[in-house]
Amino acid sequence: MTIELESRTLHANEEMKIPENQINIRSLEVTNDFAMNEKVMGFWKLEKKWYNATVLEKTKSGYKVVFADDNLVRVLGLQNLRQKTSR
């Protein structure tokens, strides 16, 4: 799920703190989509860690992604995907 705040997009697992006096939402659009070739973070359950991945395609059960570190391809549900944040 994403929430569009003017020109900023937040995905379901991403946080953004906005001072109360600066909140001005003009339109609200909710979507559960990641784009093909979008750089994301995928949760690897066995190691309980988030890893860099790239979305290959949307499937019936989630998104097919390829993990950057080892080129493993897996289908992950939305709960195991989040937008990649730059830090």
| Residues 13-35: tens digit of each pLDDT | 566 666 666 655 555 444 568 99
| Amino acid sitting at position 11 | H
Max CA distance (Å), the chain: 45
Contact 55, 35 (CB under 8 A): yes
The strands making up 8-11's β-sheet, listed across from edge to edge, are 8-11, 2-5, 30-31
Which domains are assigned to the chain? 2-83 (2.30.30.140)
d(CA 68, CA 66): 6
Quote the pTM value: 0.63
Q: What is the pLDDT of residue 75?
A: 98
Residues with Cβ within 8 Å of 19's Cβ and at least 6 positions away in sequence, in order, are none
